[in-house]
A = this chain, B = another copy of it.
């Protein structure tokens, strides 16, 4: 019996033992911790079961198989990340204000959830990337498209393909946070990200993106 043959009729007539709501959460969380610490190689179902305090068989009540577990964890984290990113954001904001909100939201979320970020980055660069792909992103990228096109129309932003915009706007932020999480800069020396650097980087990005006055 697994998640795909869940008996909804029985569930709604209350004729079954309910699931422990915490178990799925704990399993996903421990899986992420193991992947971050030891890589995808290091995620074994036996070890995960032990870490989560359940039987190996229990994991298969909540997830179809190992791949499903990884993908479900990825989808959930992606959703959480988008939520955090868009807190207080509105596509109708001025370009500069909207950018500032998103930079700060992302920065704080990543710094407070380094395991989650690390996991997502591993996922993004693995063959699982294709599986997760565009299931969640549509809402998000629609909102971003709106925001970008409005900014271009208002001459707050130079006209450019959305991918170029994205790469220039957010890739530097991700890179800085990665330096911080790895505790190492390019030279290999210790690195700690501070607010000043974040603001400096953002202002440089904004300057680059501002349309040239004719």
Contacts and interface: CB of A to CB of B under 8 A. Distances in A.
Given A133-B184, A161-B197, A168 B41 contact: no
Interface in A159-214: 160-164, 166-168, 170-176, 179, 182, 184-188, 191, 197, 200-201, 204-209, 212
Given A125-B121, A167-B175, A168-B205, A162 B188 contact: no
Interface residues of A, number: 57
A147 interface: no
A145 interface: yes
Copy count, this protein chain: 2
A83 interface: no
Nearest to A169: B172
Nearest to A134: B188
A52 interface: no
B128 A204 contact: no
A38 interface: yes
A38 B41 CA distance: 12
Contact of A126 (B39, B141, B168, B204): B39
B125 A37 contact: no
Given A160-B200, A168-B205, A204-B158, A182 B129 contact: yes
Contacts of A134: 184, 187-188
Interface in A94-113: none
Contact of A208 (B124, B127, B128, B207): B207
Sorted nearest first, the 3 A-B pairs with minimum C-beta distance are: A208-B208, A134-B188, A171-B171
Interface of A: 37-42, 118, 121-122, 124-130, 133-134, 137-138, 141, 144-145, 158, 160-164, 166-168, 170-176, 179, 182, 184-188, 191, 197, 200-201, 204-209, 212
